[in-house]
Amino acid sequence: MAQTVVQVDAFTNQLFAGNPAAVCVMSQAADADWMQALAAEMNLSETAFLYPVEDGFHLRWFTPAAEVDLCGHATLASAHTLWSEGHLKPNQEARFHTRSGLLTATLSDDWITLNFPSNPVQPAELPPALQAGLRHLPVKFTGKDAKHYLVELESEAAVRELAPDFSLIASLPMQGVIITSQADGSEFDFVSRFFAPTIGINEDPVTGAAHCSLAPYWQEKLGKSAFLAYQASARGGVVKVRCDCDRVFLSGQAVTVMRGELVG
Q: Closest Cα partner for 240 from 95, 231, 165, 3?
A: 231
So which residues are the catalytic ones? Answer: 46
| Number of alpha carbons in the 13 Å side-chain half-sphere of residue 63 | 20
Dihedral of alpha carbons 156, 218, 195, 38, sign: negative
Non-local (6+) Cβ contacts of 7 within 8 A are: 20, 21, 22, 23, 42, 44, 256, 257, 258, 259, 260
CB 19 within 8 A of CB 73: yes
- Spatial distance between the Cα atoms of 231 and 204, rounded to a whole number of angstroms: 9
The SS3 call for residue 23 is strand
- Spatial distance between the Cα atoms of 261 and 36, rounded to a whole number of angstroms: 17
For residue 7, list its beta bridge partners: 22, 258
Neighbours of 225 (CB within 10 A): 16
